[in-house]
Structure 1
Amino acid sequence: MKILAIADEESKYLWDFFEKSKLEGIDLIISCGDLDPRYLSFLATFTSAPVLYVHGNHDDKYERIPPDGCICIDDTIYVHEGVRILGLGGSMRYKPGIYQFTEREMRRRIFKLFPKLLWRRGFDILVTHAPAYQLNDGRDLPHQGFKAFLKLMEKYRPKYFLHGHVHMSYGRKHKRYDKYQDTHVINAYERFVFDFDAEHPGDWV
């Protein structure tokens, strides 16, 4: 399964210089947040692949302009061709905001998902906006990751963890790829394509 992961900055390659052939072979598009909803709608128009998304901390505009033809997976488990995808959008709370959470609030969201996690017997891909704590995050509060995501990976051992929020253009040396125990960690900033079924996912980095 070929997956296009996107986050934080609209790709000129896909939007400004779009050709339908650029989405050929893509089976699933996953947005990790902070993208123009019209960008997601645009991509959904030119592909038969589902376009899934979680909210970023700047996505309050989605209340007014929802991305047409796309599926919000916040606080649920979406299954595509047998692959279980868990969505938990938002960032650490650093000011009043609809998609910002304290560590305790994020743990509460995860606790409410336990019936679904039990029913689905875990998940294969964790999709968030914020990174996990001290795993490619920032030390400032707005870009600090959640400890709760580490606990999720430790308990359920998903194959992938996709996040955004920490832009690779910030000047810090944020990694595109990392690994935490059994989980391959991908920063979806702008765009990144990977094969879910790859035997050695690190090979395409």
Structure 2
Amino acid sequence: MRILVLSDEPCKLLWEYYRPETFKGIDLIISCGDLPADYLTFIATVFRGPVLYVHGNHDAKYDQKPPEGCICIEDEIFTYKGVRILGLGGSHKYNGTRWQFTQKEMTKRVRRLWYPLFRNKGFDILVTHSPAFGVQDGKDWAHQGFRVFNELIEKYQPKLFLYGHVHLNYGDHARECRIGNTLCVNGFERYVIDYKMPQ
């Protein structure tokens, strides 16, 4: 399954310079947040597959105008073709606006998911806006990762961890890294991943 990951900065090739073959071979699109609703709505209109999203720290405006034709996977496990996808948007709290959380608040969100995690026997892909703590996150307060993401990855060992928030042009941040057996991918702007489906 080929997944197109988006985050933080619209890609002109997918929008302004869109061509019918743009999404050829893509099976699933996942947004890791901080993208204009109109941008995701356009993509959902021209793409013949699901467009999933979580909120970034700048996506409070989705409350009034959410991306149309897209599926919000906040605080739930969405299953697509047998692949279990857990969504947890938002960033570390730095100015108190919506979709910002302290370490404790994000941990509480995860704890409330105990039953879906139990019922689904874990998950295969973790989708967040922020990175995990100490793994390609920022040194500043706003871009610090969440410790509970590290715990989720250690316990459930998903194949993929998709996130954004830390722009690759901020400094020396890798597009890909690993936490154990989990491939961690920063979806800044756009990135394509070939996901090996379970047998």
Q: 1:64, CA displacement in angstroms? A: 1.2
Q: 1:16, CA displacement in angstroms? A: 1.3
Q: Which residue of 2 aligns with 1:86?
A: 86
Q: Which residue of 1 aligns with 2:121?
A: 121
Q: Which residue of 2 aligns with 1:187?
A: 186
- Counterpart of 1:188, as a letter, is G
After the TM superposition, list the runs of 4 or more consecutive aligned residues in structure 1 that deviate by more than 6 angstroms: none
What stretches of structure 2 of length at least 5 have no aligned partner?
none
Q: Which residue of 1 aligns with 2:100?
A: 100
- Counterpart of 1:187, as a letter, is N
Secondary structure of 2:183 counterpart:
strand
Q: 1:24, CA displacement in angstroms? A: 1.3
Secondary structure of 1:43 counterpart:
helix
Q: Distance in 1 between matches of 2:3 and 2:17?
A: 20
Q: Distance in 2 between matches of 1:112 and 1:26?
A: 33
What stretches of structure 1 of length at least 5 have no aligned partner?
199-205
Q: 1:145, CA displacement in angstroms? A: 0.2
- Counterpart of 2:180, as a letter, is Q
Whether 1:62 aligns to 2:94 is: no
Secondary structure of 2:184 counterpart:
strand
Q: Which residue of 1 aligns with 2:32?
A: 32
Q: 1:45, CA displacement in angstroms? A: 0.4
Q: 1:48, CA displacement in angstroms? A: 1.5
Which sits farther off after the overlay, 16-25 or 188-197?
A: 16-25
Q: 1:129, CA displacement in angstroms? A: 0.1
Q: 1:25, CA displacement in angstroms? A: 1.3
Q: List per-residue Cα deviations over 1:151-174 (Å, max 9, x = no partner).
A: 00000000000000000112x111
- Counterpart of 2:31, as a letter, is S
RMSD (CA atoms): 1.1
Q: Which residue of 2 aligns with 1:176?
A: 175
Q: Distance in 1 between matches of 2:59 and 2:92?
A: 14
- Counterpart of 1:80, as a letter, is Y
| Percent identity over paired residues | 52
Please give the TM-score of this superposition, normalised by the length of structure 1.
Answer: 0.95
